[in-house]
Structure 1
Amino acid sequence: MSTAAKAREVSVGESGLGPYGQIIVAGRHVMAADEAESLGGRDTGPDPYELVMSGLGACTAMTMRMYAERKQWPLARSSVQVRHSKITGSDGKPLDRFERVITLEGDLSEEQRQRLLEIANKCPVHQTLTRGSEVLTSLA
């Protein structure tokens, strides 16, 4: 089994704001997470799937930006809308579906736009979600 070259870490703990409120510390960044009021939370932050979708959207936009800068393409701005749903896969098992709609602004050719769409699929979070991951859990 290989190990990652650079391990990353975040800490998550209960915030005391309702039954499900959480405080997330990622490096020097502090964020909140919670469940919607309809699920018994207080909606003090994004829910866990909204955080996953945020990571996918941000990674997609950043990856396209890096590529466009490297190629010196005139990408003025990009935005990514992400939707999550649960579906039944072809094997009858539950499956998570993430749908992205990407908006590209700038004087880009159709070939450049299509290449940026291909590059979106190379974002590391996209690759993590599509290949699956190993999650190891232990008590402190």
Structure 2
Amino acid sequence: MSQLKVHVGDFTFDAKFEEKDAPKTVAAFKKAMPFVSQAIHVRWSGEGVWMPLGDLDFGVPYENHTSFPAPGHIILYPGGISETEILLAYSGVHFASKMGQLAGNHFITLTSNLENLKEMGKTVLWKGAQPVRFEMV
């Protein structure tokens, strides 16, 4: 299993790739690593943070997709109805855009410091955009 760290502002989480269930998404994302972006709070989806990626194309189909990621799940929406994005759920999420319900590929799961998820989400909500970095260690 690959060792992965996800940094959101001052928060750091260990994570694992969901290689068995989302192999194409994981392979495409690994090619882009280390991946750096900014997280902002979701607008329509509930309690999550997202990284808007515009027209960035990872070239992946739907796989292991969900509209209801659990806290600590990271999904990649490959684009289509809305822009490409990555979403990290910190509590209840019903993944959507102004166009309606969406589904994204669950390809990373956080494995440590889950007790800090809600504080991370509230930090993004109240203090604004936070830097994000995904890196292999």
TM-score (norm 2): 0.26
Structure with the bigger percentage of strand: 2
The structure with the greater share of residues assigned to helix is: 1
Greater RCO (CA < 8 Å, at least 6 residues apart)? 2
Larger Rg: 1
